[in-house]
Amino acid sequence: MILVHRCTTVDTISITVGERYRMRKNNICKGHARHIICSVLAFAMCIALLIAPGESMRVEAKKASKKTPTQTQKVVSEPNELSIAEESALQLINKERAAAGCTALTWSNDLFVAANVRAIEIVQSFSHTRPNGTDYWTVNSDIMYGENLARFYQSADKAMESLMKSNVHKSIFLDGEYKTIGIAICPDQNGKWYWAFELGY
Whether residue 13 is predicted with pLDDT greater than 60 in this model: the reply is: no
pLDDT in tens, 64-106: 333 322 222 323 345 699 999 999 999 999 999 999 999 999 9
200: left (phi over 0), alpha (psi -120 to 50) or beta: beta
Separation between Cα atoms, residue 171 and residue 163, nearest integer Å: 10
User: Does 19 or 194 have the greater pLDDT score?
Assistant: 194
Whether residue 159 is predicted with pLDDT greater than 60 in this model: the reply is: yes
Residue 3's pLDDT is 54
Residue 79's pLDDT is 67
The pTM of the full predicted model, rounded to 2 decimals, is 0.63
Residue 80's pLDDT is 92
Local confidence band at 1 (pLDDT 50, 70, 90 cut-offs): low
Cα atoms in the 13 Å half-sphere on the side-chain side of 23: 1
pLDDT in tens, 25-54: 333 333 343 334 344 444 444 334 333 333
* CA 141 centroid distance within chain: 13
Radius of gyration over every alpha carbon of the chain, rounded to an integer in angstroms: 30
pLDDT in tens, 95-151: 999 999 999 999 999 999 999 999 999 999 999 999 999 999 999 999 999 999 999
Residue 42's pLDDT is 41
